[in-house]
Amino acid sequence: MKRYFKRVKNLLKGAKGFTLLELIVVIAIMGFLVAMIAPRLAGVVSGAVRNTDDSNMQRIASVTSTFNEKTGRLPNDLTNLIVETSGGYEMPSVSDSDPATKEALSADMVTGLGLKLHYLTAAEAEELSQMGITHVRNLNPSITVDEKFNGTNPTADYMERVEVAVDVPVLMVGAGYDGTAWQSDLNEGYDKLKAPELAYRIVLGVGPDSELVTSGQVQNAALSPGGITNSEHFLFNNYLLVLPRLSNTVEGAVGVGDDPGRELPTYEITVEGRPTGEKKTVNLEETQASWQFVTVGPQGNLWPAGSADTWMINEAL
C-alpha cells in the first residue's frame, strides 16, 4: 500500500497544469455546448409548465363537474376580478414588461380572452344565483397585499364578500356592458382572441375562499407554475372558470332599475385560426347549462387547448 501511494505522489509531482491557451479552448468548448443545450432545456421546462397547467385545469374541471353533479349548481364565493375604488369599479391593472412593479392580472389573459368590464342586470344576477353563485369575492388588490403592486388602490377590503345583484360588475369574455354601452372586441379584423366561442361569458377565479376549497373538495387553491415563474409581473395566479353563457345576457333581459338597450352588439362571427388557417362560424346566441363551464389558466391558457393560437374575426353579424 505504501508503495502505491509513493507511486501516485511521484506521478503528481510530474504533472503540469493547463496553459492559458488550453483553458481558453476548454471554456470556448463548454460555452458552445451550453449554447447547444440551453434551447432544448428551455423547451423541456416550458413543456413541463404547460403539462402541469393542463393537469391542474383538468383536476379543477373534474372536481367542479363532480360538485355540479352532486349539488346541481356551481361553487359559490369565486374570485371576482374587480377593483372597487372611490370612483366606482374598474378592471384591475394589467401586467407590463417592467419587473420592478407588479400589476394584478396577466396581460396574456386579458388580451387573449378580450376581458371587459360588465355590469350585471337584475335578470343576469338572478340567473347566476340560480346556478349557485349568490356571492363573489372581489379581488381588490393593493400594496398591502403585495408591496410591489402597481395599480389603483381599492376602497374596499381584499377579497371582500359581495352579494351577486344588479349592477355588480364582473369581467366578461370578448365584450361587456360598461353601464352605458357595450365595449367589444368582437369586430372584423380583431385577431387576438384565443377562444371566440367563449364570448359573452363571465370569468371568475377559483381562489382560497371558493366553496371548492372551503367544502373540502380540493385541499387548496392551485397556483399556476407559469405564474410563479412570472411572479414579478402579475399578482393573480389562480385558475379560473368561464361560466356558461347566460340566457339573460343573450336576450338582453332587463329588470327594474336596469338600463334599456342591452341587446348584444354581435350575434355571430366567422373566424380564421392563426397559424392553422382553420375557418369556422361561431353562434354567440347559444346558451349553456350550469355544467357547461370551461377552465382557463391565469395566463389565458385553455384546457383543453384550442386548435389555433389565436383567431382572426373575418365577419361579425
Average model confidence (pLDDT) for the chain? 90
Helix (H) or strand (E) holding 269: strand 268-274
Instruction: Provide, rounded to the nearest whole percent, the portion of the chain with pLDDT above 70.
Output: 86
Does residue 173 belong to any structural domain of this protein?
Answer: yes
Helix (H) or strand (E) holding 55: helix 20-71
Which domain range does residue 167 map to?
18-316
Mean pLDDT of 21-37: 71
From first CA to last CA, the distance across the chain in angstroms is 91
**Residue 202 pLDDT level (bands cut at 50, 70, 90):** very high
Number of structural domains in the chain: 1
Instruction: Provide, rounded to the nearest whole percent, the portion of the chain with pLDDT above 90.
Output: 76
Does residue 10 belong to any structural domain of this protein?
Answer: no
Does residue 12 belong to any structural domain of this protein?
Answer: no
Does residue 35 belong to any structural domain of this protein?
Answer: yes
d(CA 126, CA 122): 6
By mean pLDDT, which of 136-140, 253-257, 260-264, 298-302 is the weakest?
Answer: 253-257
Does residue 250 belong to any structural domain of this protein?
Answer: yes
Does residue 268 belong to any structural domain of this protein?
Answer: yes
Predicted local distance difference test score (pLDDT) of residue 29: 75
Does residue 4 belong to any structural domain of this protein?
Answer: no
Residue 14 predicted with pLDDT over 70: no
Burial 68-101 (b: 16+ CB within 10 A, else e): beeeebbbbbbbbbbbbeeeebbbbbbbeeeeee
d(CA 144, CA 83): 14
Does residue 295 belong to any structural domain of this protein?
Answer: yes
Residues 92, 82: contact at Cβ < 8 Å?
Answer: yes
151: nearest Cα among 240, 89, 226, 83: 83
By mean pLDDT, which of 73-87, 167-181, 214-228 is the weakest?
Answer: 214-228
Q: What single DSSP character describes residue 161?
A: E
Predicted local distance difference test score (pLDDT) of residue 16: 58
The residue that leads in pLDDT, 60 or 21, is: 60
Predicted local distance difference test score (pLDDT) of residue 42: 46
The residue that leads in pLDDT, 157 or 11, is: 157
